[in-house]
Structure formats: C-alpha cells, structure tokens
C-alpha cells in the first residue's frame, strides 16, 4: 500500500483500519488491471501502425495481436465478472412460475 498510495509505514499503521484493507487492496488491484489494460491497448496500436505497410493480407493478422487480445479479454473478465454470464432460461421459467403461484395465492 505504501507504494500504491505513497504513504509511509507509520501512516498505514496509524490511519488505516483493518476492515478498510480489503477495500484498499481491491482498489489497488483494479487500478493495476486498468493500467495493464491500457498498456496492452497501446501495444496493439503500435503493432498495427508498425506492421501495416508490411502485412501480407493473404496470411491474416499476426499471432501477437491475438495473444494481446486474449490478455485483454482476461483482464476485462477480471474487471467485469458479471459480464459474460449467460441467461438461464430454465431458472427464469421457474421464477415466472413462482411469481404466478404467489399472485394466485394473493388473490
């Protein structure tokens, strides 16, 4: 935390409550992931700029940008775990049936 916020050890020990630590650590991790994501996007742009004149359209894109795209997806999954959740139709149907039963009981 001292490195991330520039605080001294004394400041951390005296001013940070133990129950605040998880919050600070999540913020630090999120900031690090966003920074890593930004660096990867910058690298992808530089690769596109440098390789555009020399790229053979028959071969398709190189492997390096695909690897960087994979890393970006992994970081995005860590930053947004709720994304990519698939809709569960069976659970939704059960919920609708339960709501209908509750409505029938209330009448």
Q: pLDDT tens digits, the chain, 107 residues: what are they?
A: 667 777 787 877 788 788 888 888 888 888 888 888 888 888 888 887 887 777 776 776 666 677 788 888 888 888 877 766 666 778 878 888 988 888 888 77
* pLDDT at 24 (0 to 100): 85
Q: Which pTM value belongs to this model?
A: 0.54
* pLDDT at 85 (0 to 100): 66
Let me know how long the chain is.
107
Ranges of each domain in the chain: 2-106
């Amino acid at each position: 935390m001292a490195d991330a916020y520039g605080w001294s050890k004394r400041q951390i020990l005296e001013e940070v409550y133990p129950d605040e630590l998880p919050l600070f650590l999540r913020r630090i991790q999120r900031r690090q992931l966003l920074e890593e994501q930004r660096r990867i996007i910058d690298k992808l742009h530089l690769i596109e700029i440098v390789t555009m004149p020399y790229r053979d359209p028959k071969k398709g894109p190189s492997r390096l940008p695909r690897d960087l795209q994979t890393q970006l997806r992994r970081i995005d999954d860590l930053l947004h775990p709720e994304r990519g959740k698939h809709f569960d139709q069976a659970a939704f149907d059960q919920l609708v049936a339960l709501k209908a039963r509750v409505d029938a009981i209330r009448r």
